[in-house]
Structure formats: structure tokens, C-alpha cells
Amino acid sequence: MIARKIRIKGIVQGVGFRPFIHRLAAEFDIAGFVLNDTEGVLIHAEGEPENVGRFVDAIPEMAPKPAHIAKIASEPVSILGRADFRIIPSEHREGEVTAISPDLATCEDCRAELFDPGDRRYGYPFINCTHCGPRYSIIENLPYDRPATSMSPFAMCQNCLAEYRDVQNRRFHAQPNACRECGPKYDLFDLAGLSVRCDDPIVFACEMLRDGKIIAVKGIGGFHLIADAANGEVVGKLRERKERPAKPFALMVRDIETVRKLCEVSDREAAILSSPAAPILLLKIKKSPALELPDNIAPGLDRLGIFLPYAPIHHLIFALSGIEILIATSGNKRDEPVSCQNDEALRDLKDIADAFLVHNREIVGRTDDSVGFVFDNELTIVRRSRGYVPRPVEMPISGASILAVGADLKGTFAMTRGSEAFLSPYLGDLTGEKSLELFDEVLSRYLKWLNIAPEAIVCDLHPDYASTILAERLAAEWGVPLFRLQHHAAHGISVIAEHKLPDKPALTVALDGYGYSSDGTIWGGEFLSVRHGGFERLAHIRHVPQPGGDRAAVDTRRMALSWAFEALGEKVIERIPDLLDDLSDLAGPLLSMIRCRRPPLTSSAGRLFDSVACLTGVCSRNTFEGECPQRLTAAADMFEMGHYEFATTDSILDPSPAIRRIIEDCSAGIDKGIIAARFHRGFARGIVDMAHKLAGDNGIGDVLLSGGVFQNPILLELVVKGLRGRGLRPYWNRIVPAGDAGIALGQALFGKKRFNSK
Ligand code: ZN
Ligand code: ZN
Ligand code: FE
């Protein structure tokens, strides 16, 4: 006989881990005990040496799907002579900190029961077990016990309580355990907030969906606006009511087989769609799909945002409505966080929805659906919310507790404890009051959970960011130092943080729309040398005027004219007559601003993409962030292998030669798809050339790719391949977004380094 102590860290509480260990112990004839404590799960196992060894090996291999084992360590201990294996109840102490699980999609067992007429939870929309159900979204306090969640008003009935107390049951200590007798319920409200008289609110809502109505449905982390995706008219109505002319709508699709009728789906993509996190994945639309959808769902784009039903209510809606594909877009006002309270939804969505399918369980932690795409066979996150938060990101260094407040447009903060960074869910555009309130609310909950007081704060260099102003206020209130970090350096350091790279110079290529710098120009096409605690600018995309400032980010004709002038000078007048015609009265004043290089000047890669989209006639207005670039990429015919030349000097990557050729090719009537492909290939080559040269000059081997432009999978692939071809080591964001929602992680590492070396 031998005995071992096994310590497991990670997300191992509230995911059915102890019952799993209990079963496993029985299988391998192991005696001892298992318990939850502040660090995770602790096991004492004794038995035949061979059995104990196999038991330890089986833990990570057979762990329940929603568990996330960060670390497992075992060591020999003395034999206690236990007769059996037991689950020892945890003793929760004041201020205890355990890793809170993200919300988990309905598991297969619960789904089977949901549709089993003989099961007592047949058709019950809040069915869950220790392997699935809400977690983050219902937890108010720690330790994670029912009274600390929004399930506290629902007292378990005798049947539920028996399951909850039975070690062998799948619902042993499942905090949200409930049934029709004792749990939350759905109700259907009309626009006045009055309960609609009907036999069954869900059945009635499904009839409305079939009739082409838009229903606001309260789910796990907030409200969705749901409608029949096959009905082009209702999609159009939703666009009008949401004042959203072109931004693509996410689709919730009945099952993976139906997804395959619409899009190309790899095994990896199928696995991620069906994972407990159930994110929205951006999937390539099939050349000839087996199902036709109206063209106003994702106009001009080659990818669809798709997710599978992840809550029991979603499964029920598909079953009861018979609809295969639903529009399921966040129930929010533009750029605001998703609505999650019943009265709030009734107020905010009354001009959009036709009815409200609500329930009486409060959503404590509001989350949007997460978004990502698969690149290099790995999930690459674009929006990190439901299913991922509050799972921490492990950083390369430990030390002080840092609050990093992120950037404004994609509000997200990071709070660190030890070497872990806990990122908030996506909070919306922080220039809006509701988002700022949410920031405060989530921050105070995180501080309570983590039981720490921040020792320093990091914000962006931008003096007018709402997040900066907030950081200044908090720093004064708490009496802690405030560090400021340039936007693109933060992008680069976020890559260092998630790949746990050592503190030595790495070359960052940060491409995005806009970032503040103290030199008075707009940065957005940057080559920086960064390390944990600082950065240096090495090169950038050539500066051009951005006539009209922010207006040029929406009306991309302004930037197109600016780049055309940069490339051709006064010859623009005869070379781009169509654009000048289109600008009509605006052309003169714009040209004079451009001629005298009136500030602001910009090195933005986003604005460069905008310009090419406009010059080629693909798209001339960003009705949502990234619209023109995304449409240009969707238009690109990548069978075309040609490229446009970019010029490089020591510190400037100059697109002017490419712009000249684009204008020539456009007047020669060359296909847009070919021009778009040559631009992508040329730009990628330019980036790789520049990076190669700078890396060589500075003795650097690691190249970090970040910024929203790298959420473009075609550009990312070309650059990654190009860098590898030159013997460099590229790294890019995966766990946190390459866009501004990932900035907080970079700020957090920077803050740690700065504080530690103080
Ligand atoms: Zn389940
Ligand atoms: Zn019950
Ligand atoms: Fe950015």
C-alpha cells in the first residue's frame, strides 16, 4: 500500500469534480478523501501502488469537460488506513477565494432529460447539473453556494434537495439545481410589460417567431433579440428598428449539421462550437450553401457569426418553433452593454421587440456572447465574455495587484492577483454612461471576490478617455500610483503576457485604427520594440493627413483622397475623377486641407484599408467599426498571387507605390477581387520586410502581432507565414482579443513590472 496527496488547481469547483473523483476512486479501488479548499481540490489517495498511479494519471484524462486543470501535483504521504473514500464537506472561511467557473452550455445528459417525456424536468427551461448551467452570471458572493447566488429566492423542493445531497447524483452540490416545482419560470410580456394571457409563454413566443415577430429573450448573461433568419422581411425590420443598416447579425443554428449546410466547418471549429463555452465562431460561408439565407444578414461579407444553442430555453425554442436558424443578436442599444434586467429590457428594447420572453431569476453578471475564429487550428478570441470570464490569464510574472482599465471603445479591465489576470467581460463603449456604471459594478464584484486591494493602476496615454479619467479618480481615492502606457505598446505587451514571454525586447507590429500618442499624430501602423516595462518606436506607416479627424473614419472617401494625393500629388485631379465627382462640393475644401498637411496626421493601418476599399469601389462608409476593411477582405480573390509593392526606408513603411498601382488598375478596369488580393499580399510583404529588417538591426527574434487589423485572418496568415519564412518567431493574441478589448492585459503586465521595480 502507498498513499499520495494530490493537489489540483484551476477551475475545479462547481463543475462536478468531487463526485468525479469519488467515482474514479471506486473504479481504482482507492481509499481516502477529497475536499475543496481555498486553492482548489485536495485529494488523499491510498491503495495498491499500481492503482494509485493509474488513478493519478486518469484525473486529467477523464476530468469533467467544464473543468479546467491549471496544475496538478502529487507527493507521497503517510498511510492513514482509511476504509473507504469520502467527500469531505468544505469549510468555507471568511474571504475565501476560489476560481469561479464561467457559464457552461447545457450538457448532453441534461439535454436528453429536457426532451424525455418521462423525466420530471421534461421541457423545463432551467435544467442544469454540475457539468452545466449558469455560474458567473448568477454569482454575487463567494464562497460559491446557493445563498450567494441569484438562485437564493428559490428554495429547493424535496426531490431537488435529495439530488443536491446525494454524492452519487449528477446534481450533487449543483448550486442552480431546480425544477418546475421549485425553480424560476418564464413569462411572456407585451410591450406594456403586462403578462400575455396564454397556456404556455414559450409555445406562444414560438408561434410569434413563426409569424415573423421579433422576440426579446432573456437568457444566461442577458437578452437576445431573436427572429426567424430565413425571413428576409423580419431581418429588414430588425435592421430598421435597431438602426443598424449593415452590421452582420449573429445566427443561432439548431445543430451542427445545419451549420454545415451554411458554412465550411472544420473538426476543430465543430468542437469549439459544441464546447461548454459555446462562443460565436466566424465561419466561412460555403461557395454553394445547401440552405439559402436572405442577403441582409451579413451584407458583403464572406463569413457568418454562428453559435449553437447553449441554454435550455434555446433548445426548447428550436424544438417548439420548428425554425432551424434564428437571428440572435445582443439585446442592447448601440454600443451599450447588453440589457439584463426585465424592466431595463422593457425600456431599452420596446421599439425593437414585439414581445419579451422573460424569467424571474436575476442576472448578476451580465455577459455578451463571446466571439472568435479558428486560426492555425486554435481558437482566436475577438470578444471574450460568456463562457470565458472570469477564467484568469496566467502571466509571466507575479507581484503587485494591478488594476488595468483598458481602452474606451471596447471597454474591458484586468485585475491581477499573483501571476493571474482576471479580465472583465466586454463592457461596451465606455463613452456611454451605462457602460461606465457597469465598469464600476463589475470592478467592485471582482475586488470582493479576489479579496485584494489594488496597489497600482494603469491606463492609456489618452487624456480624454473615460477610462483614463476613471483611473485618475480611483488612483486619488485609493492613494496608489497611476502608470500610463501608450496604446500600441499595450497591444504588444498583451501578446507578451499571454504567451508568457521573458522580459527582453520583442518587435511589435501593432496595426489598428487609432491610438493616442504624445507626439500629436494619430498612431495605428506601428513597429515598436517592447518589453515588460517599456517600449521604443522603431518605425511606422507613412503619415498622411486625416482630413476632418473622426469624420474620416466613417466617410472613407476622405482618407481615399488623402492617400491618392500622397501617391500622385496634383495629378489626382485627372486620375480619380469619379471619387472627386462623388465628393462634389467637399472635394475642394478637402484637397486644400490635404495640400497643406493640416493635422491630424495618421499612420493608421485601419484608415489605409478604408482607403483601398473606397478607391476600389468596394465600400465607402463605415456604418460599423471595420466595415470597409472587412468588405475589402471578403472581396479579395486570393487565387490571385500578384502583389503591389510597398516601399520601405529605415523607419517608414510607405504604401504610396501600391496606391499608385491600385488607382491605375482601377482605371484599367481590373477586377476588384484581384486588386484587393494584390493589396493584401503587398501589405503583408511590406510588413514582413520591415519587421525582418528591424528585427535584424535590433537583434530580435520574436515578433508580436496585435491590434484590431490582425483580426483579419487573411492578413494574419500572410504575415505569420512570411515571418516564419524569414526565420522569425511570430506570436499573436489568442486568449485575449487583438483589438482594444485585449489592451488591459498588456497594461496589467506593464504595471506589475513597473511596480515591482519601483
Ligand atoms: Zn447538465
Ligand atoms: Zn425542485
Ligand atoms: Fe487599438
Do 312 and 244 share a domain, yes or no? yes
Could you say which ligand is closest to the alpha carbon of residue 109?
A: 1
The C-alpha cell that represents 118 in the structure block: 418521462
Q: Tell me the CATH number at 214.
A: 3.90.870.10
Tell me, yes or no, whether 72 and 14 share the same domain: yes
Cβ proximity of 133 and 113 under 8 Å: no
User: Mean pLDDT over residues 108-121, rounded?
Assistant: 97
Indicate whether 153 and 197 sit together in one domain: no
248: preceding bond cis by omega (within 30 degrees): no
Of 326, 359, 392, which residue sits at a domain end? Answer: 359
Name the band, by pLDDT with cuts 50, 70 and 90, for residue 94.
Answer: very low
Question: What's the CA-to-centroid distance between 515 and ligand 3, angstroms?
Answer: 6
**406: in domain:** yes
Tell me how many domains the chain contains: 5
More confident residue, 338 or 174: 174
Higher pLDDT, 433 or 188: 188
Residues 288 and 436 in one domain: no
- Pair (224, 259) in one structural domain: yes
For residue 673, is it within any domain? yes
Give distance in angstroms: CA of 176 to centre of ligand 2. 10
Using CB atoms within 10 Å of the CB of residue 600, give its burial: 0 to 12 exposed, 13 to 18 middle, 19+ buried.
middle
Share of the chain above pLDDT 70, in %: 99
Residue 520: inside a domain: no
Q: How many whole angstroms from 252 Cα to the centroid of ligand 2?
A: 29
C-alpha of residue 711 to centroid of ligand 3, in Å: 11
Closest ligand to Cα 151: 2
Structural domain containing residue 558: 544-732
Which ligand has an atom closest to residue 737 CA? 3
Mean pLDDT of 416-445: 94
Residue 475 inside a domain? The answer is yes
Residue range 587-596: mean pLDDT, rounded: 96
Say how far apart CA 586 and CA 566 lie, in whole Å: 18
Taking the centre of ligand 1 as the mean of its atom positions, its distance from the CA of residue 110, in whole angstroms, is: 4
* Dist. CA 123 → ligand 1 center (Å): 14
**pLDDT tens profile 162-200:** 999 888 888 988 999 999 999 999 999 999 999 999 999
Give the distance (Å) from ligand 2 centre to CA of residue 64: 24
Same domain flag for 311 and 390:
no
Cα–ligand 1 centroid distance for 105 (angstroms) = 8
Question: The CATH number of the domain where 81 resides is what?
Answer: 3.30.70.100
Tell me the C-alpha distance between 167 and 87, whole Å.
8
Indicate if 204 and 158 belong to the same structural domain. no
Task: Using the 3D structure, point to which of 152, 184, 216 is the last residue of a domain.
Answer: 184
Cα 630–chain centre separation: 18
Q: Is-contact 9 71, C-beta < 8 A?
A: yes
Q: Are strands 325-330 and 647-648 parallel, antiparallel or unpaired?
A: unpaired
Residue 508 lies in a domain: no
CA 173 to ligand 1 center in whole angstroms: 13
**Residue 194 and residue 82 share a domain:** no
- CA 564/CA 612 separation, integer angstroms: 10
Q: Do residue 293 and residue 191 come from a single domain?
A: yes
702 and 626 inside one domain: yes
Q: Residues 702, 536, 553, CA angle at the centre, nearest 5°?
A: 95
Cα 707 to middle of ligand 3, angstroms: 5
Give 116 Cα–ligand 1 centroid separation in angstroms. 14
Q: Enter the pTM of the model.
A: 0.92
Please say whether the beta carbons of 3 and 44 come within 8 A: yes
Whether the predicted pLDDT of 574 surpasses 60: yes
Task: Among the bound ligands, name the one nearest to the CA of residue 174.
Answer: 1
Q: Is the pLDDT of residue 11 over 90?
A: no
**Distance of CA 408 from the midpoint of ligand 3 (Å):** 10
740: pLDDT strictly greater than 50: yes
Are 14 and 66 contacting, i.e. CB atoms less than 8 angstroms apart? no
In this structure, the answer to whether residues 442 and 556 fall within a common structural domain is no
pLDDT category of residue 581 using cuts at 50, 70 and 90: very high
Residue 474 sits in a domain whose CATH number is 3.30.420.360
Establish if 523 belongs to a structural domain. Answer: no
**Residue 757 pLDDT greater than 90, yes or no:** no
CA of 447 to the centre of ligand 3 (A): 26
Position 98 scores a pLDDT of 57
> In this structure, is residue 480 part of a structural domain?
yes
Is the same domain home to 300 and 325?
A: yes
Which ligand has its closest atom nearest to the C-alpha of 124? 2
Cα 307 to middle of ligand 3, angstroms: 26
CA dihedral 291, 295, 300, 302 (to 10 degrees): -10
Kindly state the helix (H) or strand (E) to which residue 70 belongs, with its residue range.
strand 68-77
Give the number of whichever ligand sits closest to the CA of residue 110: 1
Q: Which of 10-19, 62-71, 79-88 has the lowest average pLDDT?
A: 10-19
Q: In angstroms, what is the span from residue 15 Cα to ligand 2's centroid?
A: 20
> Is residue 718 domain-resident?
yes
Q: Over the stretch 384-422, which tens digit does the pLDDT of each residue have? A: 999 999 999 999 999 999 999 999 989 999 999 999 999
State which of 184, 208, 237 marks the end of a domain.
184
Q: Which ligand is nearest to the CA of 65?
A: 1
Distance of alpha carbon 615 from alpha carbon 559, whole angstroms: 10
Residues flanking ion ligand 1, Cβ below 5 Å: 107, 110, 129, 131-132
